[in-house]
Amino acid sequence: MIFSISKWSSTMTYHIKNRILFVTLLTVWFIPVSCWAQKRMNVSSSSGQPDSTRITQKVDSLLARMSLKQKVGQLIIIGSDHKHLDSLVTKGLVGGTNGMLPGKKNVHQYLKNMQKRALQAPLHIPLLFMGDVIHGYRTTFPVPLAEASAWNPGLVRAVDSVSAVEATAAGMNWTFTPMVDIARDPRWGRMVEGAGEDPYLGSKIAAAAVHGFQKNDLSSPKSMAATAKHFAGYGAVEGGRDYNTVDMSNRRLHQIYLPPFQAAVNAGVAAVMPAFISLNGIPAAENHHLLHDILRKQMGFKGVTVSDYNAIPELIDHDVALNNSQADKEAMKAGMDIDLHSGSYLENLPQLVKSGAVSKARLNEAVRHVLRLKFKLGLFNHPFQYGKHHTNAAEDSMLARHRPFARKVGDQSIVLLRNQNHLLPLSKNLTKLAVIGPLAKDQADLLGPVHALGRPKEAVTAWQGIKEAVSPNTKLMYAKGTGINSADTSGFSNAVSAARQADAVVMFLGESAGMSGEGDSRSKLGLPGNQKALVKKIVQTGKPVVVVLMNGRALTIPWLSKHTEGIVESWFLGTEAGHSIADVLFGNYDPSGKLPVSFPRDVGQIPLYYNHLNTGRPKQVGNKYTSRYIDVANTPLYPFGYGLSYTTFSFSKLHLNTHLLGWDDTLRVSCTVKNTGNRAGTEVAQLYTQDLVASISRPVKELKKIRRVKLKPGESKTITFTLNRHDLTFYGKQMKKHAEPGDFKVFVGKNSVSVKQAWFTLEAGQEK
């Protein structure tokens, strides 16, 4: 027996030695190949974005060492207005801090000091620093609704990439944007923050914004976490009144309001912020179906959910919680990871977990989401990589470097609504030009709402832009006329006097920045105060009048559309507003913007949107018993997708490669776009479809594709769009997304009304 054991031991030693040799040789071969494979896969375990498996291992290891209170602390975001912020950070009981925009004199120094304090805590977990970088940080770009008017997702991606570079240079690593809510009611103040009324355009812009901020690599010091908000249906608040309730069908939610969120999730968005609202009677902050069944299971979201500001305690006002403890319990169980601002989780979650009211598994899941984000951002390895080389001079240098780009974005964001008798572009050699209106020399309002660290004194006014654009021999005359929202008419006489002396008049009218944005809903959508009365006085002089609008929503302007020669929708264009406006007014840039929202004739038409369903009794002239108003047309004043140019474009008859589209085949829709004018310009070709007969009522038109076409005078270009059955899907009777065989119309044109059309049939097939 002793001999046998000895012989066995000797044999095993031989085999072990050979296995060690084999493993050594394998390792020598495998390591280079592994490194090559990682490089090919764009995955790095030592630099760049850490791979998912390694992050999971690190998160699990850290989670195992955390106390209950430390775990809860990671789910807390509080600002400098919290009296115990410094103490809680030092103890490691805060996950991040917000509220530094605006207000901090030195954002970079504040964030650096807070991070140092956090790293003194027992587990040395770094902080997240977040704020609203909505349309720029140091450089203020056009507001999102204006950017959407460019119909150029690539431009949005570039804007948000620049915004991330500026914000991360100051130390920030998380932004509460993009807002991807569909907005069909311009009374709602937050229309200004989104991409308008259409789910296709909104989805393209949502994905572009996420890619712009996150740059496909969150560990880069020039990228930051993005947040898709507000989940979901916030843009449909009743009466257009902010924070109000929303009640809609499940089909409308899925067909119209969820696609931009799905696009953001597909783009890898780091966070989602549920809305303040109740949706179909259940507040979003505690809506398990919304946050778990739809967001996590259906959409596949794996990131962080963060409440809107104080939204969890507000469950008490929604009448679904008796106190903060119950509100915290319901929010956490529903799937709300982070409590923004209230700090209530820290007070109540430990006891809720101890009592079993909230499971340990759910708590750990939420903490994992937060820790994974911090690892993805590279904060554990490089907690000070954001803002590492920050100086005030460098910040000012970035502004100077990015100004030309901001001007380019402003140029593309402007929409020309009216140009009677080709008054525009104006000659730079006019003898006398009157510049009138409360926004002509305004700087602060040009920046729009929520403009981060943009400084009004650095904004280029319309007056300045015009002064730099015209000939030195042109005499400019200025008159304010009235305030933005004033009843004072004492300035009318000076304005009329200036107009009478001029060859032409440019008026700068609209809203203040404070009339758009969160909490700023309006019941009337005309020009505020007595601005309309001022325009009437100027028009009575008989001089040609161009109105430049500055606003954050669609306005009701039928009188202007009938009585003025030109209307330019400039929205709030930001730092370079004056230069961009002058570029368009004087023809340095040919306007190419298109409306992302329908402009109603009257507030009584709202909600008004192009992709509506038909009725059993569509409007018929002379037939009383059809769907109509007795005092206004059904149609918008300016339709979705509308925008003029200084040149003209024609669209040829559509050519389809087939009229019988196979179930797994591709339809190619071609047409020739020609510049029929005498100057170069860019047209935005828009493709829409209509499902003619389906199992449920379908919209009269749906945007499916867009293409920007730049053409020289007389130049033609044939463009081809592709469609397949996946472009034709919708949620049917059983709320399953599918395409149905049958007949379709396809439209291509310059807006949702002015189109060429053809037809095709989708043949039957089997879903795979």
Average pLDDT over the chain reads 92
17-41 pLDDT, tens digit each = 444 333 333 333 333 333 323 333 2
Asked whether the predicted pLDDT for residue 768 surpasses 90, the reply is no
Q: Look at residue 633 and give its three-state secondary structure.
A: coil
Is 308 catalytic? The answer is yes
In 3D space, the residue among 256, 148, 201 whose CA is nearest the CA of residue 688 turns out to be: 201
Asked whether the predicted pLDDT for residue 359 surpasses 90, the reply is yes
Spot the catalytic one: 308, 411, 445, 590.
308
Asked whether the predicted pLDDT for residue 330 surpasses 80, the reply is yes
Spatial separation of the C-alpha atoms in residues 521 and 192, rounded to whole Å: 11
Spatial separation of the C-alpha atoms in residues 545 and 498, rounded to whole Å: 12
pLDDT of residue 101: 65
696 vs 641, 732, 740, CA distance in Å? 26, 7, 11
Spatial separation of the C-alpha atoms in residues 746 and 666, rounded to whole Å: 14
Give the number of other CB atoms < 10 A from CB of residue 659.
Answer: 11
**If you average pLDDT over residues 665-685, what whole number do you get?**
98
The C-alpha R_g of the chain, in whole angstroms, comes to 29
Spatial separation of the C-alpha atoms in residues 517 and 237, rounded to whole Å: 14
Q: To which residue do tokens 């529903």 refer?
A: 334
Spatial separation of the C-alpha atoms in residues 174 and 270, rounded to whole Å: 9
Spatial separation of the C-alpha atoms in residues 760 and 762, rounded to whole Å: 7
pLDDT above 90: percentage of residues in the chain: 87
Asked whether the predicted pLDDT for residue 706 surpasses 60, the reply is yes
Q: To which residue do tokens 């400098």 refer?
A: 80
Asked whether the predicted pLDDT for residue 737 surpasses 50, the reply is yes
Q: To which residue do tokens 């007070």 refer?
A: 347
pLDDT above 70: percentage of residues in the chain: 92
pLDDT of residue 733: 95
Q: How many CA atoms lie within 13 A of 352 on its CB side?
A: 23
pLDDT of residue 475: 98
DSSP annotation of 650 reads E
pLDDT of residue 103: 64
**If you average pLDDT over residues 336-361, what whole number do you get?**
97
DSSP annotation of 136 reads B
**If you average pLDDT over residues 700-713, what whole number do you get?**
98
pLDDT of residue 385: 84
Residue partners of 126: CB distance under 8 A and separation at least 6: 115, 118, 119, 374, 379, 380, 383
pLDDT of residue 393: 75
Q: To which residue do tokens 């209509």 refer?
A: 690
Phi/psi for 724 (5° steps) reads -140, 180
Is the Cα torsion angle 326, 332, 336, 339 positive or negative in sign?
positive
Would you say 144 and 182 are in contact if contact means Cβ atoms under 8 Å apart?
Answer: no
Q: Distance from first CA to last CA of the chain, Å, rounded? A: 65
Q: Using 50, 70 and 90 to split pLDDT, how confident is the model at 766?
A: confident
Spatial separation of the C-alpha atoms in residues 79 and 86, rounded to whole Å: 10
388-414 pLDDT, tens digit each = 667 777 788 999 999 999 999 999 999
Spatial separation of the C-alpha atoms in residues 504 and 498, rounded to whole Å: 10
DSSP annotation of 766 reads -
